[in-house]
Structure 1
Amino acid sequence: MTLELAGHAALPLIVVALLWPVPHLLSRARWTSRAPRAAAITWVVYALVTAYTLLLIPALSADSWLIAGLLLAWMLGRLAHTVLSLRRAQRRHLDALAVIAVYDPELRVYIVDDERPLAYCVPDGARPKVVVTRGCLELADDTELRAILAHERSHAHNRHDLLVTGFLAWRRILPFVPSGRTAAEAVHAITEAWADDAAAAQVSHAVTLRAIIRLGSGMPGGLDHLGWEPDPATLARVRRLLGRMPDRPRYAGH
């Protein structure tokens, strides 16, 4: 009985740890950028364990099953609302693409006549669509375009939209807890790192880095334009790829 009481008393402390230091430390862990797939699995396990622990506290009391049920209904409701609202937005986007985009069978992308250099993936069930703008095609060279498309197809193939949607819902389930936002931002960064690695494997780290800079700056010269100020997320991707660049060969000689 003493051990049981001690376990019950420790649960609130476990919840506090799961809602603050654990996600904070995980989001700052260096290994997550080196192994984005493992990091994504870790975040999913973290969310499931935290949700279970939150439900467990009221369920331990015989009089609190109703509270646990209401909490579970809240979680599932926020998840369903997030999925449905995003799905409606995606459907509107797909309807617009059907009118304004032209499909290129050679590149297997939908091209939008827009001068802004953009590339993205729109979820559509088992047939996600990769979209690029005319500005992207004009700005990137052939190898950079391969890296850009490999990045977006990694998002599509690995269904990163499901992962991001789940943690957006997690953020809405815990609107007053900073860990919800921390987890959502960390998972988004992980999916970008995952897709960057796919592009680097297909083309090269150098070309992938150049493509990110090219699209980020919107200028042919990329970093040659000193006025470019990347946003924190893009800067993190640039620094990560710079840190993962293969060592240049060293030549012996005098």
Structure 2
Amino acid sequence: MMNPNLVSHKDLADVLSFVNDCVVLPPGEVTNNLASRIGSLLPVDGIAAVVAEMGSDGDVHKTHVVNINYPAEWIDIYERCGYAEVDPVVQKHFSTFALQKWSDTFAAATSCTHRSFLEEARRFGLVSGITAGIRDVNKTRASLFSFCGAEIEKDPRHLTILKYIVPHLHEIFYKAAGVENSPRPEVSFREKDVLKWVKYGKTNWEIGQILMISERTVKFHLKNLAVKFNAHGRSHIVAVALSRGIIDF
């Protein structure tokens, strides 16, 4: 959940407003207005998204690319040249699914193929940014979101905001792509209680104290919810619960 020590009250209000839109608005309306909405939260110049189907071997079998506002010429060159096979950010993302700063990844990319790709990317001003995304627990679906901007890497609050909103983007883009969700899972009253307090940003220990159960029991419920929701991490669990109407915003 969001660290209140790294974000302002305005950041919190803007993020909550964005999450509310992800929950209540049609997916297409959210994605169509994404550039302006994310632009109000973060200093971004371009956004691109990928939703992917993964095989049991861990390889990406099928992708759906959504260009929000990257240069159209760059997207055309990227696809024609098969740059997804050599892009170090994409390669790292689909092996680790960890949030990454482009500058760190580019600094470690030293092969001739990588250097050629980076020179072409620089021609379009794509030299600084952050990429994040999620792979579902059953490893059949994955997402990638790239946010380009000269300033986005510099402030830790930007990373905090992205860690919170990316799970909601993951859910909304799969809906927009027409990917069917599994049937709504059955959730116990106790699991809903745990979900409510996770949504409010409480730690496992705090939830245990509130509900008068052990921290180990809280972890047990969260593990079950992750499996039921095919979700990765606390924020993703909450994003799924909100998007499926299991808990209220």
Give the TM interval when normalised to the shorter protein.
0.3 to 0.5
Q: Which has the higher strand share?
A: 2
Structure showing greater radius of gyration is 1
Provide TM-score, normalisation by structure 2.
0.33
TM-score, normalisation: structure 1 = 0.33
Greater helix proportion: 1
